[in-house]
């Protein structure tokens, strides 16, 4: 009994010390509980970063992976401190709510994962991907696929396309790319978080799609890169604008962002011009209100939110990206975001400096 009591006491003491240690680093303000919700695409990265942030700063961050759209809705309802989204807010969405600030947090890619026995390096082009998902190409040994894959024996089997059943930023990035490279796709389907796919089956969430592909022979589907990497599913090289076949890697994803960037960081980097760029790359964003005094939030909470964003942009956090299969932000994106954060206010008073 005494032993148990003693160990409990030490535990309590340890916890007190730990919490003191945390709060001492955030310049005297009390540790805050931050909540965010949104995209599942960067979830593995956020899990790591938020934990590190808690260690360093003492603030606790709870993030619900409920999908980009859900996150934005929660922000609009003013029940979260920040939203995670793979698609930047459209002008229409921006009009419907108070002024927001977009902060890109990392880069990722949408990969074409497939399950084909004996085919290690499938090569695809945007046009062919569009035709597969539109149901124009139905067989793996279709001549258009064979032409892209000289020397590879493709089976005479039906292609089983897999797509997302729930609305998703991943679908947005994927269809954004197809819309840019295929006129047929742009006219018939367009881009969006939910698209009326004509063929195939659907599964919920990135893990769901990855699971179905892994379990289904002759399947092909699009998933966030980290899910394909983590589950060790084969994925295709995609032909980029320069005509090179590129695999998604931290480098080829980062290269895709080397072009110009608008001041508010809202830009699509699919089908990038750059040499060596993986064509279905994307930023993922955190979105916060410019005016942080809403729903009775305290100033300390607003400052903690900014601290979190600054931490995510810091080198310390950005080096973590590659560990969990994302790519770090280019310097320009960090610079612009730091600048944007400076304009954040609480009750009209600038707190971002």
Partner 1 sequence: MNDKLYKVLLFIVALIMPIVCGGVVYALVTDAYDAFEHFGFFRFLTSSEWSYTEGAEQYGALPFITGTLMTTLLALVFCIPFSLPVALFVGEYFRDSRIAAVLSTVVDLLAGIPSIIYGLWGFYTLRPIIMALNISPQGSGILTASLVLAIMIIPYASSLSAEFIKMVPNDLKEGAYSLGATRLEVVRNVVFPVAGSGIFSSYVLAIGRALGETMTVTMLIGNTNDMPNSITATGNSMASIIANQFGEADGLRLSSLIAIGLILFLITAIINMVGKIMIKRARIA
Rounded to the nearest 5°, which phi and psi values hold at 68? -55, -45
Which residue's CB is nearer to partner 1, number 222 or number 346? 222
Residue 76 or 310 having the CB closest to partner 1: 76
Q: 160 and 138 in contact (C-beta within 8 Å)?
A: no
100 binds partner 1 (CB under 8 A): no
> Which one of 113-121, 147-155, 160-168, 236-244 is the stretch in contact with partner 1 (CB under 8 A)?
160-168
* Residue of 48, 66, 94, 146 that binds partner 1 (CB under 8 A): 66
Q: Which stretch binds partner 1 (CB under 8 A): 107-115, 166-174, 317-325, 328-336?
A: 166-174
Nearer to partner 1 by Cβ, of 138 and 258: the residue is 138
85 vs 125 by CB, closer to partner 1? 85
Figure out which of the listed residues 59, 81, 86, 166 binds partner 1, where binding follows CB under 8 A: 166
Chain positions 169 to 198 lying near partner 1, rule: CB under 8 A, are 190, 192-197
- Residue span binding partner 1 (CB under 8 A) among the ranges 104-112, 207-215, 285-293, 335-343: 207-215
Nearest to 140 by CA among 113, 160, 163, 118: 160
CB of 188 to partner 1, least distance (A): 10
Q: Contacting partner 1 (CB under 8 A), which of 36, 42, 44, 67? A: 67
Instruction: Pick from 31, 52, 60, 73 the residue near partner 1 by CB under 8 A.
Output: 73
Name the segment binding partner 1 (CB under 8 A); options: 1-9, 199-207, 223-231, 263-271: 199-207
Task: Give the whole-angstrom CA distance, residue 137 versus residue 133.
Answer: 8
Stretch that binds partner 1, among 2-10, 46-54, 217-225, 289-297 (CB under 8 A): 217-225
- We find the least distance from the C-beta atom of residue 43 to partner 1, in angstroms, to be 14
Q: For partner 1, which residue of 217, 339, 343, 350 counts as binding (CB under 8 A)?
A: 217
Nearest-approach distance from CB 195 to partner 1, in angstroms: 7
Q: Give 168 or 284: the residue with its C-beta nearer to partner 1.
A: 168
For partner 1, the closer of residues 188 and 342 by Cβ is: 188
Given the complex with partner 1, which of 68 and 240 has the nearer CB atom? 68
The secondary structure of the chain, three-state, reads CHHHHHHHHHHHHHHHHHHHHHHCCCCCCCCCEEEEEECCCCHHHHHHHHHHHHHHHCCEEEEEECCHHHHHHHHHCCCCCEEEECCCCCHHHHHHCCCEEEEEEEEEEEEEEECCCCCCCCEECHHHHHHHHHCCCCECCCHHHHHHCCCCCCCCCECEEEEECCCCHHHHHHHHHHHHHCHHHHHHCCCCCCCCCCCCEEECHHHHHHHHHHHCCCEEEEEEHHHHHHHCCEECEEECCCCCEECCCHHHHHHCCCCCCCCCCCCCCCCCCCCCCCCCEEEEEEEEECECCCCCCCHHHHHHHHHHHHHHHCHHHHCHHHHCCCECCCHHHHHHHHHHHCCCEECCEECCC
Task: Compute how many other C-beta atoms are within 10 angstroms of the C-beta atom of residue 139.
Answer: 14
CA distances from 45 to 48, 194, 238, 250, 329 (A): 5, 24, 24, 14, 13
Is 315 a binding residue for partner 1 by CB under 8 A? The answer is no
Residues touching partner 1, count (CB under 8 A): 31
Question: Looking at beta carbons only, is 194 or 258 nearer to partner 1?
Answer: 194
Of 58 and 208, the one with the shorter C-beta distance to partner 1 is 208
* Chain contacts with partner 1 (rule: CB under 8 A): 66-70, 73, 158, 160, 165-168, 190, 192-197, 200-204, 211-212, 215-219
């Amino acid at each position: 009994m005494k032993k148990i009591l003693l160990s409990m006491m030490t535990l309590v003491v340890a916890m007190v010390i730990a919490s003191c240690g945390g709060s001492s680093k955030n310049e005297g303000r009390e540790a805050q509980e931050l909540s965010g919700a949104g995209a599942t695409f960067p979830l593995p990265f956020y899990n790591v970063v938020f934990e590190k942030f808690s260690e360093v700063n003492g603030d606790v961050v709870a993030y619900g992976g409920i999908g980009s759209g859900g996150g934005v809705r929660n922000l609009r309802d003013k029940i979260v401190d920040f939203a995670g989204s793979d698609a930047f807010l459209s002008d229409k969405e921006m009009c419907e709510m108070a002024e927001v600030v977009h902060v890109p947090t990392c880069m990722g890619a949408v990969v074409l994962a497939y399950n084909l026995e004996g085919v290690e390096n499938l090569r695809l082009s945007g046009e062919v991907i569009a035709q597969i998902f539109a149901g124009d190409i139905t067989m793996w040994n279709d001549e258009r696929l064979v032409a892209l894959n000289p020397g590879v024996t493709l089976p005479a089997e039906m292609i089983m396309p897999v797509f997302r059943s729930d609305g998703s930023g991943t679908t947005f990035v994927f269809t954004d790319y197809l819309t840019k490279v295929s006129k047929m796709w742009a006219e018939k389907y367009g881009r969006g978080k939910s698209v009326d796919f004509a063929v195939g089956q659907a599964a919920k969430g990135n893990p769901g799609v990855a699971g179905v592909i892994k379990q289904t022979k002759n399947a092909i589907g699009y998933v966030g890169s980290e899910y394909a990497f983590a589950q060790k599913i084969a994925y295709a090289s995609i032909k980029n604008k320069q005509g090179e076949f590129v695999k998604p890697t931290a480098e080829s994803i980062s290269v895709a962002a080397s072009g110009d960037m608008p001041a508010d960081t809202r830009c699509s980097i699919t089908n990038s011009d750059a040499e060596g760029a993986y064509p279905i790359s994307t930023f993922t964003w955190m979105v916060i209100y410019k005016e942080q005094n809403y729903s009775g939030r305290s100033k300390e909470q607003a400052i903690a939110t900014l601290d979190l964003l600054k931490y995510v942009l810091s080198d310390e956090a950005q080096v973590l990206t590659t560990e969990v299969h994302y790519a770090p932000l280019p310097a320009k994106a960090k610079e612009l975001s730091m600048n944007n954060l400076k304009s954040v206010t609480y009750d009209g008073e600038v707190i971002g400096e």
